[in-house]
């Protein structure tokens, strides 16, 4: 992306420094890392990241302003998630982009997906800070967006996540958090913003209140930073001690209804040069493009689950008619392997992470590197210089 920085980093990289990075992350998080962290950060021109951030705002706000699109999205929300006290607007939004090269040889973003759900706000910040320190990178390289410094980012996220409450009365809620690969983000969330993590099974319901047990006493829960992924909840049948439809005296950051309301289902309604052509499966009678130019995606799956490349007519026909409204077909886009590594040119998928304060505000880039069909670990097994990466902003 930035040839001089890339060449200098590659020339000075050593396995010992990468081991030092991983060890430092583990010490800071206080738990082992169970996902792959790339050997390198990614250096992005500020102009490109700013363009991605602006496109994301445009796409999200245009969708939310479209009454017909909103009504369709509302129809997709399972009844069990249509409870009271939802946020009027999604507090946490993620918009993922791949990078392509245009006819002039310039880098341009292309939408991959968007989702109203929290992401790794604590881990990604820590990864970037640790990368800069371990690799002795220039202090001019930023790790935040929209003019935020590191202290300003930490203060902003405290306001978003904790608000006016005592942090002990705010919880990060996740299913079996000690088993989740994202556990380092949970422990870092507590380290940075004093928000404890709680498993729903450990929550006590007292009338309209949720409480958690601490040292033999019950502490009220005033706000939930929700990390329970509905897809996992549905798949596992994990028992909850409360019902989302209950009128509980609790505030939500990341209410599960928004997971359905702003998702891949929005993409067919979006019109923008950065958005690949996309079709709702329930509105098709034939493939709109040759199979090898298409990707079949379920609307509500996490971490790329259920995606089918080059779907055949037979594979599509096998989806029951009653479920076809839960899938879309998307034009397949070939992303540019833009990151030069000792193991070959590598693709980078950039997630622009937002929070909604007085406006939808971009705060951090999250990067996943890969040379497989997708960025997930399952598609990049046995490869080096892939995985989660810091996105550093080059002014």
User: 189 and 111 in one domain?
Assistant: yes
Q: Is the pLDDT of residue 304 over 70?
A: no
Do residues 179 and 246 both lie within one domain? yes
* Model pLDDT, residue 306: 83
Cβ–Cβ contacts within 10 Å for residue 259, how many? 23
What pLDDT is stored for residue 310 in this prediction? 94
| Strand pairing category for 209-214 and 203-206 | antiparallel
CATH code, domain carrying 292: 3.30.1490
Place of tokens 């738990």: 31
Per-residue confidence band for 379, with pLDDT thresholds at 50, 70 and 90: low
For strand 170-173 and strand 223-226, is the pairing parallel, antiparallel, or unpaired?
parallel
- CA 43/CA 211 separation, integer angstroms: 44
Residue 233 lies inside a defined structural domain of this protein: yes
**Which pair of tokens denotes residue 85?**
């006290």
CA distance 326 to 310: 18
pLDDT tens-digit series, residues 310-366: 999 999 999 999 999 999 999 999 899 999 999 999 999 999 999 999 999 999 999
Task: Establish if 177 belongs to a structural domain.
Answer: yes
Query: Which pLDDT band holds residue 285 (cuts at 50, 70, 90)?
Result: confident
Q: Is the pLDDT of residue 375 over 70?
A: no
7 in a structural domain: no
Residues 304 and 213 placed together within one structural domain of the fold: no
**Are both 208 and 284 inside the same structural domain?**
no
pLDDT band for 226, please (50, 70, 90 cuts): very high
User: Is 148 among the domain residues?
Assistant: yes
Shared domain for 217 and 300, answered yes or no, is no
Among 390, 391, 386, 392, which Cα is nearest to 38's? Answer: 386
Q: Are residues 263 and 286 in the same domain?
A: no
Give the domain extent around 298.
Answer: 277-332
Distance of CA 270 to the CA centre of its chain: 20
Residues 176 and 290 in one domain: no
What is the per-residue pLDDT for 342?
95
Of 272, 265, 393, 388, the residue nearest 327 (C-alpha): 265
* Residue 338 falls inside a structural domain: no
Looking at residue 126, its pLDDT comes to: 98
- In this structure, the answer to whether residues 220 and 366 fall within a common structural domain is yes
Asked if pLDDT for residue 378 goes beyond 70, the answer is no
Q: What is the mean pLDDT of residues 273-295?
A: 94
Can you tell me the mean pLDDT for 127-150? 96
Residues 68 and 274: their CA atoms lie apart, in Å, by 22
Read off the pLDDT band of 303 (50, 70, 90): low
pLDDT, position 382: 77
Buried b (16+ CB within 10 A) or exposed e, 300-335: bbeebeebeeebeeeebeebeeeebbbbbbbebeeb
Q: Which residues of 31-67 are buried (b: 16+ CB within 10 A; e: fewer)?
A: eebeebbbbbbbbbeeebbbbbbebbbebbeebbeee
Q: What is the pLDDT of residue 1?
A: 75
Confidence of residue 133 (pLDDT cuts 50, 70, 90): very high
Task: Tokens for 184, please give them.
Answer: 């380092």
**Mean pLDDT (the chain, rounded):** 94
Indicate whether 291 pLDDT > 90: yes
Residues 271 and 281 in one domain: no
Are residue 159 and residue 104 in the same domain, yes or no? yes
Residues 157, 41 within the same domain = yes
Mean pLDDT of 290-297: 94
Residue 337 resides in a domain: no
Find the mean pLDDT for residues 156-165: 98
Residue 377 confidence (pLDDT) above 60: no
Instruction: Please count the structural domains in the chain.
Output: 2
Q: Map the chain to HEC letters.
A: CCHHHHHHHHHHCCHHHHHHHHHHHHHHHCCCCCCCECCCCEEEEHHHHHHHHHHHHHHHHHHHCCHHHHHHHHHCCCHHHCCCCCCCCCCEEEEEEEEEECCCCCEEEEEEEEECCCCCHHHHHHHHHHHHHHCCCCCCCECCCCCCCHHHHHHHHHHHHCCCCCHHHEEEECCCHHHCCCHHHHHHHHHHHCCCEECHHHEEEECCEEEEEECCEEEEECEEEECCCHHHHHHHCCCCCCCCCCCCCCEEECCHHHHHHCCHHHHHHCCCCCCCCEEEHHHCCCCCCCHHHEEEEECCCCCCCCCEECCCHHHHHCCCHHHHHHEEEEECCCCCCCECCCCCCEEEEEEEEEEECCCEEEEEEEEEEECCCCCCHHHCCCCCCCEEEEEEEEC
Same domain, 234 and 294: no
Instruction: Determine, yes or no, domain membership for 137.
Output: yes
pLDDT digits (tens, 9 = 90+) for 248-274: 999 999 999 999 999 999 999 999 999
Residue 374 pLDDT level (bands cut at 50, 70, 90): low
69-120 pLDDT per residue, tens = 999 999 999 999 998 999 999 999 999 999 999 989 899 999 999 999 999 9
pLDDT reported for residue 301 = 76
Is there a domain that residue 19 lies in?
A: no
């Amino acid at each position: 992306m930035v040839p001089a920085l890339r060449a200098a980093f590659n020339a000075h990289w050593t396995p010992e420094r990468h081991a030092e990075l991983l060890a430092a992350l583990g010490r800071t998080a206080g738990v082992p890392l169970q996902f792959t962290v790339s050997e390198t950060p990614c250096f992005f021109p500020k102009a490109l990241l700013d363009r991605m951030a602006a496109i994301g705002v445009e796409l999200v706000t245009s969708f939310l302003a479209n009454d017909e699109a909103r009504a369709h999205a509302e129809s997709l929300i399972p009844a069990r998630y249509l409870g009271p006290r939802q946020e009027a607007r999604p507090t946490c939004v993620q918009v993922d982009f791949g990078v392509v090269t245009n006819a002039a040889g310039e880098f341009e973003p292309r939408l991959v997906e968007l989702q109203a759900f929290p992401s790794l706000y604590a881990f990604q910040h820590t990864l970037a800070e640790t990368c800069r320190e371990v690799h002795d990178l220039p202090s001019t390289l930023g790790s935040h967006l929209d003019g935020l410094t590191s202290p300003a980012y930490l203060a902003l996220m405290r306001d978003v996540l904790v608000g006016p409450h005592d942090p002990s009365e705010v919880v990060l809620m996740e299913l079996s958090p000690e088993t989740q690969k994202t556990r380092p983000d949970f422990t870092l969330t507590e380290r940075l913003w004093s928000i404890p993590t709680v498993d729903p099974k450990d929550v006590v319901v007292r009338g309209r209140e949720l409480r958690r047990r601490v040292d033999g006493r019950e502490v009220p829960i005033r706000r939930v930073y929700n990390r329970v992924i509905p897809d996992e909840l549905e798949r596992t049948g994990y028992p909850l001690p409360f019902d989302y439809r209950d009128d509980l005296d609790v505030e939500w950051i990341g209410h599960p209804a928004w997971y359905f309301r702003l998702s891949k289902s929005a993409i067919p309604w979006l019109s923008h040069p950065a958005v690949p052509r996309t079709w709702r499966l329930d509105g098709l009678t034939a493939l709109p493009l040759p199979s090898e130019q298409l990707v079949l995606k379920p609307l509500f799956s996490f971490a790329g689950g259920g995606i089918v490349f080059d779907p055949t007519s037979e594979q599509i026909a096998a989806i029951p008619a009653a479920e076809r409204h839960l899938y879309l077909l998307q034009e397949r886009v070939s992303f540019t392997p833009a990151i030069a590594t000792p193991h070959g040119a590598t693709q980078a998928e950039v997630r622009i992470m937002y929070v909604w304060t007085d406006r939808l505000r971009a705060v951090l880039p999250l990067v996943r590197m890969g040379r497989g069909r997708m960025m997930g670990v399952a598609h990049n097994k046995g490869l080096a210089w892939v995985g989660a990466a810091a996105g550093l902003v080059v002014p």
